[in-house]
Amino acid sequence: MTGYILKRLLAAIPVLIGLSIIVFLIMALIPGDPAQAILGNFATPENIARVNRELGLDKSLPEQYFIWIFNVLQGDFGRSYILNRPVLDEILDRFGATLILAGTALVLCSIFGILAGIASAVRQFGWTDRLVTLVVLIGISLPSFFLGLLLILLFAVQWRVLPASGMFAVYGGGDLPDLLYHLILPAVTLAVVATGVVARLTRAAMLEVLRQDFVRTARAKGLDENTVIYKHALKAAMVSVVPVIGIQAGFVLGGAVYIETVFQWPGIGAMLVKAISTRDILLVQGGVLIVAAAYVFVNLLADVVQSLLDPRLKT
C-alpha cells in the first residue's frame, strides 16, 4: 500500500509541473500585466516599465518560469506583486478557509448524498424516492450563485437569522460556534449540487448492487433485509461511490469560487479570481498548484479508501 501511495504521489509531480507551465503560459497570454493592476489609472508606459523592473518582470518568459520553479523547489513561492506579501503566507491563510468550507460541503454532500441515495434506492418508486429524486433534481438544476443570493436574501436580509457574509463576526467572535454560524449558508449552498450528484450515484450503485448475485446469496442465507441492504449491498455500492466523492472534491473546489465570491468567504477561490484579474502571476501559480495538489490528494485518498473497501483492488 505504501508503495502504491508513493507511486501515485510521484505520478502527480509531472502533472503539477505541467499544470504550472500551462498556467504560466495562459497568464502570459492574457493582455495587461501586474504593473497595470498596481498602477491603475496611472499606468503610463514609463511607469509600467519602472514597475516591471521593480518586479523583475523585464526578464524573458522562460527565464521567469525557471527562476520561479527553481525557487518553488526550495520552498520559496515568491512574493505577491499586488499584495506585497509572501505568496505562501497568503495561500496558507486562504487555503485554511477554503478547506473548512469545501471540506464541510464535501462531508455534508457525502453524508446526505449517500443517505438520500440509499433511502431513494431502498424505497424505489415510493414516496421517499420521488421526494429525494425531486429535491436532487432541483439541487443540480439551480445555479449555485443564484441559490446563494436567494439564501442571503431570505436568511440574512429577510429573517436575519444567519449572517450574510464573512467567516467570523466582525468584532469579537472568532470561536468555533461563531465559525459554524457563519459556515451554514455557504457550506449548504456549496453542498447542494454535490449532494445531488452523490445521491444519484449512490442510488444507481445501490440499485445495481441489489441486483447482484451475492445479494441474492445473502437473502438465501436468511439474513434480514436490513443486513442485506446496509451491510452487503451498501459496502459493495460504496466501492463505486467513493471515487466519485473524490471527483466531487474537484467540483466542490471549483464551485467554491462562486460561493466564496457571493459569501465573501476569505478562501483561495476568491483569491485566485482576483489574482487572475490583477495578473498576479506568482499568486495564481502558487494558488493553482495548491488547489491541484489538494485535488490530487483527495483523489488519492478516495482511491486508498476504495482499495481498503475492496480487497480485489489491493496490489
Partner 1 sequence: MHKLIKGIAAIVLTAGVAAGLMSYAVAQTPPNVLVVGQIAEPQSLDPQHVSAVNDFRILMNVYDGLVRYKDGTLEVEPALATDWSISEDGTEYTFNLREGVTFHDGSPFNAEAVVFNFERMIQEDHPYHTGTFPLSFYFSAVTSVEAVDDMTVKFTLNEPFAPFLSNLAYPAGLIVSKAAVEEHGEDFDRNPSGTGAFKFVEWQSNTRVVVDRFEDYWDGAAPLDAVVYRPITDANTRVAEMLSGGIDVMVEVPPDNVSTFADDPAFTLYEEAGPHLWFLILNAKEGPFADMRVRQAANYAVNKEALVENVLQGTATVAAGPTPPAFNWAYNEELDPYPYDPDRARELLAEAGAEGAELTFYVTEGGSGMLDPVAMGTAIQADLEAVGLDVTIETYEWNTFLGIVNPGLEGKADMAEMAWMTNSPDTLPYLALRTEAWPDQGGFNSGYYSNPEVDALLQQARTSTDQAERAELYKEMQAIVYEEAPWLFVANWKQNAVTTANVENFSLQPSFFLMLQDVAKPN
Partner 2 sequence: MSAADTTMSAEVDADAPPARPTAWQLLMNNTLAAAGFWIMAVIVALCILEPILPLPDPDVTSLAERLAPVFSEGHLLGTDHLGRDILARLFSGMRVSLVVGVTASVIAAFFGSLIGLIAGYARGRVDNILMRGIDMLMAFPYILLALAIVAALGPGLLNALYAIAVVNIPFFARNIRGITVGLAGREFVDAARLSGKGHISIVLTEILPNVLPVIVITMSTTVGWMILETAGLSFLGLGAQPPQADLGSMLGEGRSLLFTAPMVSIIPGVMVFIIVMSINLLGDGVRDALDPRLRAGALARPMAVTKIDRKAAPKSDDKSALVVTDLETSFEGTKGTTPAVKGISFSLDKGECLGLIGESGSGKSVTALSLLGLVASPPGIITGGTVAIDGQDVFGMREQEIVALRGRKVAYVFQDPLTTLHPLFTVGDQVVEAVQAHQKISKSDAWAKMLDLFRAVRIPDPEQRANAYPHEMSGGQRQRVGIAMALANDPEIIIADEPTTALDVTVQAEILALLQNLRKERGLALLFITHDFGVVAEICDRVAVMRFGEVVEAGDTMKVLSNPQHDYTKRLIACVPKPGQGRQFLDDVRKLAAETQNG
Residue 255 is a binding residue for partner 2 (CB under 8 A): yes
The CA–CA distances, whole Å, from 234 to 60, 121, 228, 246 equal 56, 11, 8, 18
Residue 216 is a binding residue for partner 2 (CB under 8 A): yes
Between residue 203 and residue 222, which ones bind partner 1 under the rule CB under 8 A? Answer: none
Backbone phi, psi, residue 172, to 5°: 70, -155
Residue 13 is a binding residue for partner 2 (CB under 8 A): no
Residue 235 is a binding residue for partner 1 (CB under 8 A): yes
Between residue 71 and residue 130, which ones bind partner 1 under the rule CB under 8 A? Answer: 79, 81-85, 90, 93-94, 97, 107-108, 111-112, 114-115, 118
Q: Which stretch binds partner 2 (CB under 8 A): 34-42, 44-52, 89-97, 290-298?
A: 290-298
Nearest 5°: the CA angle 77, 82, 88 is: 25
Cell of 192: 447542494
**Separation of first and last alpha carbons in the chain:** 7
Residue with smaller CB distance to partner 2, 153 or 180: 153
Residue with smaller CB distance to partner 2, 69 or 207: 207
Shortest distance in whole angstroms from residue 175 CB to partner 2:
30
Q: Please choose, from the candidates 300, 305, 314, the residue with its C-alpha nearest in 3D space to the C-alpha of residue 239.
A: 305
Q: Which does 301 bind (CB under 5 to 8 A by kind): partner 1, partner 2, none?
A: none
> Which ranges in the chain belong to alpha helices (H)?
2-29, 34-39, 45-55, 61-73, 87-122, 127-141, 144-151, 176-210, 213-220, 225-226, 234-263, 268-277, 281-309
Shortest distance in whole angstroms from residue 124 CB to partner 2:
4
Using CB under 8 A, pick the residue from 1, 6, 18, 32 that binds partner 1: 32
Between residue 22 and residue 81, which ones bind partner 2 under the rule CB under 8 A? Answer: 22-23, 26-27, 29-30
The CA–CA distances, whole Å, from 14 to 9, 21, 67, 287 equal 10, 10, 18, 17
Q: Which stretch binds partner 2 (CB under 8 A): 33-41, 60-68, 170-178, 234-242?
A: 234-242
